[in-house]
Amino acid sequence: MQILIYGYGNPGRQDDGLGVELVKRLEEWAVETELADIEFDKNYQLNIEDAEAISNKDLVIFADASQEEIEDFCLSRVAGNTKVSFTTHAASPGYVVELCKELFQKDPHVMLLHIKGYEWDFKEGISDRALDNMEKALSYMKIVLEKPDLVLKLNNKFKTC
Amino acid sequence: MSQKITIEPVTRVEGHGKVTIHLDDSNQVTESRLHIVEFRGFERFVQGRPYWEAPVLVQRLCGICPVSHHLAAAKALDVIVGAGTGEGLTPTGEKMRRLMHYGQIFQSHALHFFHLVSPDLLFGIDADPAIRNVIGVALEHKDLAVQGVMMRKFGQEIIRATAGKKIHGTGAIPGGINKHLSPEDKELFLNGPELQNIDKMLDWSTGVMEFFKDYYSKNQSFIDDFASFPSNHLSLVRKDGALDLYHGVLRAVDWEGNKILDDVDYQDYEQYIEEEVRSWSYMKFPYLKHLGPKKGWYRVGPLARLNTCDFIPSPLAQAEFEQYKAVTNGKPNNHCLHYHYARLIELLHSAEMMKELLNDPDLMEGELVTKGTKVNKGIGLLEAPRGTLFHHYEINDDDQLTRVNLIVSTTNNNEPMNQSVNSVAHSWMDGKAQITEPMMNAVEVAIRAYDPCLSCATHALGQMPLEISLYDAKDRLIDQKRT
């Protein structure tokens, strides 16, 4: 199974860097545990070229900071959507999925890991509360990545949003 | 019936554009304004930090065009470390930075045209929003949509290879660059897979140019007339008048082509440019001092650059430039939607420049950094995808930043964007008391021509919705819509 774990956000804006930090830590863990067939990527935001990047994967998990009213973290299935905002130069996960389907005729299983954040100023460093949430998400993701086929088969038993 | 509300986590701290339109008793537009409502004082946040951190720190400002800020900051710090004002770097230092910059221009222009503009052109301003997006383009013009994706990817890969990494790149350092181009990357870009090498990028850049010219020939009045108005234009040009997106002197021309600023060393920019504050917007309004705020405002970006330069120093783009100039009989082009035409000529120019640089042996070997005697002030300018970008830094004897002033491209275009909104408001909304979807999009199309980065201009992050509010003669809100 080809897997991509992709964190995005701006680490220069405190908790906005949650997704990037999680992927950095997961990548280190994957090297230590010699987990194969998992690709890791990080960027400030998603964009249209990511439609090509996910097109040759079976499972994609995007990781992003969240302002939603969630306790710590949760996982949701990403459905394709066509909405693009007015001038933003970023794309939503759903938009990337839809573009992948239309341009490359591929439909990978795509999930979004939402990690609760609190602080968004011009500083490096994630707040303590957000870091706790990320640690919980990290532990969870390690379990997921040891048996990734479960994500595909038992989607609704995971910690869904 | 139940209602499902979906909240996407990417909408975090939000800056947004807000347009207000005021009507008189007979519903004629009396005033319209583009307000920028989110502001965070980035300049104050970086005060006290060591100056050498600036090229990385400024990338906090915007996750959309970090490379432009990275390079402008590095250019300013070149001055502070005594490495000169643009001409003092080693050949390797300057050429690696140029390659990074052309990669940024290429990916940004490709993204803007294919992702944001082509849906308006292909489907029309009043088309159903459900199809007026790149997914709609993908359904009807798949080749075009795939090209947009692959061109954007190529530019991003050039950035990775020169800046070192996608997030918080460190390639440009005060006085030069920290690495050579690797042989593997050079081979990949010159002779890589069919859809991912520079020859294919050149081929597609030429193709999209033809696509636009064909569209223009069939829709000339729309492209020429939409939100068109006279203005001044400002950009850097090379000393000999050539288009140069990385370095040069400041030049400005008026709407008829008279030079109103020429051969100005940008270290002296404060003598020539001032910023006006208006109570209703957090984004400032820059203007040429000697003309004052009413007559001295100017456009920046692709349209302005092709109005200020005398020629383009790459053959394919120069040939297109000659055709483009013929449209306005050699005079400055003041048509708002010709920003797209000019942007595609720059896309082609960037592809040509990347090919030239990738074949240059200086990228693979040679000194990386120039050293000199430190001074306490440095100013770095470059032509970012959206226009002239100013970075100004001052330091104390402890190497801490004491003053930072940034004038970003979108701020330079503040007054022109307001003028464009005003033009559209009169054309589309005079006599109307309700906002319709085509009206909303007409306003968006006018603003979108400038490819604004509200994230940069307002220092916000997240998505950028547009809100339009309509007020009657008694200043009562009568309609409001949001994208």
Measured between CB atoms, which of A52, A89, A98 is closest to B135?
A98
Measured between CB atoms, which of A67, A85, A102 is closest to B138?
A102
Q: What is the DSSP letter of B116?
A: I
In this predicted structure, what is the pLDDT of residue A92? Answer: 87
Q: pLDDT below 70 — which residues of chain B?
A: 1-17, 36-42, 60-63, 454-465, 483
Dist. CA B325–CA B327, nearest whole Å: 5
CA distances from B269 to A49, B174, B246, B381 (A): 38, 21, 17, 10
In this predicted structure, what is the pLDDT of residue B473? Answer: 87
Do B60 and A87 count as a contact with CB atoms less than 8 A apart? Answer: no
Helices (H), B192-308: 198-218, 220-225, 292-295, 302-308
Three-state DSSP class for residue B264: strand
Do B63 and A99 count as a contact with CB atoms less than 8 A apart? Answer: no
Measured between CB atoms, which of B46, B61, B452 is closest to A87?
B452
Measured between CB atoms, which of B116, B167, B448 is closest to A43?
B167
Measured between CB atoms, which of B60, B139, B455 is closest to A102?
B139
In contact, B89 and B368? CB cutoff 8 Å: no
Give tens-digit pLDDT for B2-48.
Answer: 322 222 222 223 345 678 888 899 889 998 888 765 445 667 778 89
Give tens-digit pLDDT for B402-412.
Answer: 999 889 888 89
Give tens-digit pLDDT for A22-53.
Answer: 999 999 999 999 888 899 999 888 888 999 99
In this predicted structure, what is the pLDDT of residue A85? Answer: 58
Q: Domain B89-228+336-369: which CATH class?
A: mainly alpha
Given pLDDT bands bounded at 50, 70 and 90, which one contains residue A89? Answer: low
User: Min CA distance, A51 vs chain B (Å)?
Assistant: 8
Do B66 and A44 count as a contact with CB atoms less than 8 A apart? Answer: yes
Measured between CB atoms, which of A10, A45, A51 is closest to B60?
A10
CA distances from B456 to A28, A77, A88, B64, B464 (A): 33, 31, 11, 8, 11
Give tens-digit pLDDT for A121-140.
Answer: 777 899 999 999 999 999 99
- On the question of pLDDT at A71 being above 70, the answer is yes
In this predicted structure, what is the pLDDT of residue B13? Answer: 32
Contacts of A94 in chain B (CB under 8 A): 8
Contacts of B61 in chain A (CB under 8 A): 12, 122
What is the set of domains in chain A, with CATH numbers? 3-157 (3.40.50.1450)
Contacts of B168 in chain A (CB under 8 A): 11-12
Tell me whether A23 touches chain B (CB under 8 Å): no
Do A48 and B111 count as a contact with CB atoms less than 8 A apart? Answer: yes
Given pLDDT bands bounded at 50, 70 and 90, which one contains residue A116? Answer: very high
Tell me whether A102 touches chain B (CB under 8 Å): yes
In this predicted structure, what is the pLDDT of residue B158? Answer: 96
Contacts of B60 in chain A (CB under 8 A): 10, 12-13, 122
Do B116 and A43 count as a contact with CB atoms less than 8 A apart? Answer: no
**Chain B residue with minimum CA distance to A97:** B135
Average pLDDT, chain A: 88
CA distances from A61 to A41, B56, B178 (A): 10, 28, 33
Do A87 and B454 count as a contact with CB atoms less than 8 A apart? Answer: yes
Q: Where are the domains of chain B?
A: 17-37+424-482, 89-228+336-369
- On the question of pLDDT at A104 being above 90, the answer is yes
Q: Which of B141, B149, B414 to mutate to test the interface with A (most CBs of A within 10 A)?
A: B149
In this predicted structure, what is the pLDDT of residue B53? Answer: 87
Q: Is the pTM of this model over 0.95?
A: no
In contact, B222 and B338? CB cutoff 8 Å: no
Do B156 and A51 count as a contact with CB atoms less than 8 A apart? Answer: no
In this predicted structure, what is the pLDDT of residue B62? Answer: 66
In this predicted structure, what is the pLDDT of residue A86? Answer: 52
Tell me whether A31 touches chain B (CB under 8 Å): no
Q: Which residues, 6 or more positions from B279, have their beta carbon under 8 angstroms from its beta carbon?
A: none
Beta-strand ranges (E) seen in B356-411 are 377-384, 387-395, 401-407
The first and second tokens of residue A29, run together, are 């863990």
Tell me whether A52 touches chain B (CB under 8 Å): yes
The first and second tokens of residue B324, run together, are 């483009």
